[in-house]
Amino acid sequence: MSLDTPPTGCLHTPVLRERGQREVFCGLTGIIWLHRKMQDAFFLVVGSRTCAHLLQSAAGVMIFAEPRFGTAILEEKDLAGLADAHQELEREVERLLSRRPDIRQLFLVGSCPSEVIKLDLSRTAERLNARHGPSVRVYNYSGSGIETTFTQGEDACLAAMVPGLAETQDETLLVVGALPDVVEDQCLSLLTQMGIRNVSFLPSRRASDAPKVGENTRFILTQPFLADTAHALERRGAQRIVAPFPFGEEGTTDWLRAVAKRHGVMLETFDAVTAAPRARARKAVAAHAETLRGKTLFMFPDSQLEIPLARFLARECGMLPVEVGTPYLHRGLMEPELALLPQTVLSEGQDVDLQLDRHAALKPDLTVCGLGLANPLEAAGHATKWAIELVFTPVHFYEQAGDLAGLFSRPLRRRALLQGAAR
């Protein structure tokens, strides 16, 4: 790209669409972080032993001793008679609620088997709501692999909550996406300093703090995978603030600026509030950028964060993305990101064997991929960053920008440290 051409990024880049074996989680996986975020919620997957095993494996074999999630495992007799399956499910829920009186929100989560046998969880949810509401709110959504990819589970979950949110006519700002509490607090503090009031978060930490929504609500996404939630909020009359996602100094500044503009915050105020954290973020990123600059980057599709993160790694850390894969490309949400992303190969969906062939030919300096691929690629001589850490680590906003860059520089620094050791 010559220096005097205005960058149009990847807005018009043709997308390589592939269909084959996918090496990604299903939407159930989102439960791992959602149940920590919503402290009075229980997630009941209606599925098979495979679903239970997935949750357990993705959670690192029981790192949480007292989980607020479980699986109602379908057995042969449930498949034989659906009417009985509904009854069985209600019985299991009754037992669960009586044993765990702390539960205020219960999510019935559909899975591949429950979708295939067309078990209607909305009917069950309705009946249970009639019985246990309003002290317990029962929702249902699908986290099945035949419909959702990894982080889409969070989207389905939040979208399911939107119709039940209380109505308000107040001017409010709703920040959407499950963030670690520390990040949520930082975000709120920045917005408050700019004089923005009536800020709420979806999901809230407790059911009693659930946000209200209405025609005077503006909302902004913190995660790039929340398309259905955005639509659901728009159906409630809320207006979306369009912005890149708050990763890195630039992403965070653009995100905050979009909010500030819509709220009529004075430029001086904006600068005063953001100057110090911006400088800190730049400084923290710079330390890692030394390791990352000029290195090629290959991203396998995983968490749907790939495009914003490639943008961050390219523009703030000087990396050279050679392929950016994403499970699915939602242009409506991704437009501001694509405009910023330097020219690269974009791929959507996956045929993992073909993608591995391309990867082997390109020999990138750093590969971002899921847990199933990381060690095999590492053993084949590639430095890898396993992508699941990106959804389990606080990475949003200014104070985490350095940590985010660090997640990518660490594998490279580690390789350098271990040079000479037997690999």
Partner 1 sequence: MKLTLWTYEGPPHVGAMRVATAMKGVHYVLHAPQGDTYADLLFTMIERRNHRPPVTFTTFQASDLGADTATLFKRAAQGAYDRFQPQAMIVGASCTAELIQDDPGGLASTLGLPCPVVPLDLPSYSRKENFGADETFLALTRALAQPCARTKEVSCNILGATALGFRHRDDVAEITSLLRQMGIAVNVAAPLDATPADLARLPAAHFNVLLYPETGESTARWLEKTHGQPFTKTIPIGAHATRDFIAEVAALAGVSAKVDETNLRQPWWSASVDSTYLTGKRVFIFGDATHAMAAARVARDEIGFEVVGLGCYNREFARPMRAAAKDYGLEALISDDYLEVEAAIIAAAPELILGTQMERHIAKRLGIACAVISAPVHVQDFPARYSPQMGFEGANVLFDTWIHPLVMGLEEHLLTMFREDFEFHDAAGPSHHGGKATPAPAQILEPTPDAATQMIEAAQALAHALHWLPDAEKELKKIPFFVRAKARRNTEKYAAEKGVTQITIETLYEAKAHYAR
Residues of the chain by 3-state class (helix, strand, coil), percent to 5: 50, 15, 35
Tell me the CB-side half-sphere exposure of residue 421, using CA atoms within 13 A: 8
Residue 116 within binding range of partner 1, rule CB under 8 A: yes
51 among annotated binding-site residues: yes
Q: Whose CA is closest to 397, among 246, 213, 258? A: 246
Q: What is the C-alpha end-to-end distance of the chain, expressed in Å?
A: 38
Tell the smallest beta-carbon distance from residue 139 to partner 1 (Å).
Answer: 18
Looking only at residues 119 through 158 of this chain, which bind partner 1 when binding is defined by CB under 8 A? 144-147, 149
10 among annotated binding-site residues: no
Structure tokens at 378: 């590492």
> Which of 10, 24, 176, 405: binder of partner 1 (CB under 8 A)?
24
Reduced to 3 states, what is the DSSP secondary structure of residue 409?
A: helix
- Give exposure, 135-157, as e/b (b: 16+ Cβ within 10 Å): ebbbbbbbbbbebbbbbbbbbbb
- CB atoms closer than 10 angstroms to residue 214: 16
Residue 58 within binding range of partner 1, rule CB under 8 A: yes
Residues contacting 53, CB < 8 A, separation 6+: none
User: 221 - beta bridge partners?
Assistant: 176
Tell the smallest beta-carbon distance from residue 210 to partner 1 (Å).
Answer: 26
For partner 1, give the closer residue by CB, 181 or 357. Answer: 357
Reduced to 3 states, what is the DSSP secondary structure of residue 250?
A: helix
Residue 268 within binding range of partner 1, rule CB under 8 A: no
157 among annotated binding-site residues: no
Residue 62 within binding range of partner 1, rule CB under 8 A: yes
Alpha helices in 163-247 (DSSP H): 181-193, 227-235
> Which of 31, 32, 41, 74: binder of partner 1 (CB under 8 A)?
74
Binding pattern for the stretch 34-53 against partner 1, x by CB under 8 A and - elsewhere: ----------x-x-xxx-xx
Residue 243 within binding range of partner 1, rule CB under 8 A: no
Binding pattern for the stretch 336-375 against partner 1, x by CB under 8 A and - elsewhere: -----------------x----------------xxxxxx
- DSSP of 382-406: --EEETHHHHHS---SHHHHHHHHH
> Which of 9, 110, 113, 402: binder of partner 1 (CB under 8 A)?
113
Looking only at residues 82 through 101 of this chain, which bind partner 1 when binding is defined by CB under 8 A? 85, 88-89, 91-92, 95-96
Tell the smallest beta-carbon distance from residue 349 to partner 1 (Å).
Answer: 10
Q: Which region, judged by CB under 8 A, interacts with partner 1, from 16-24, 101-109, 195-203, 205-213?
A: 16-24
Please say whether the beta carbons of 390 and 407 come within 8 A: yes
Instruction: Please give the annotated binding residues for [4Fe-4S] cluster, written as ranges.
Output: 26, 51, 112
* Interacting residues toward partner 1 by CB under 8 A: 20-29, 44, 46, 48-50, 52-54, 56-58, 60-62, 65, 67, 69-76, 78-79, 85, 88-89, 91-92, 95-96, 112-113, 115-117, 144-147, 149, 353, 370-376, 378-380
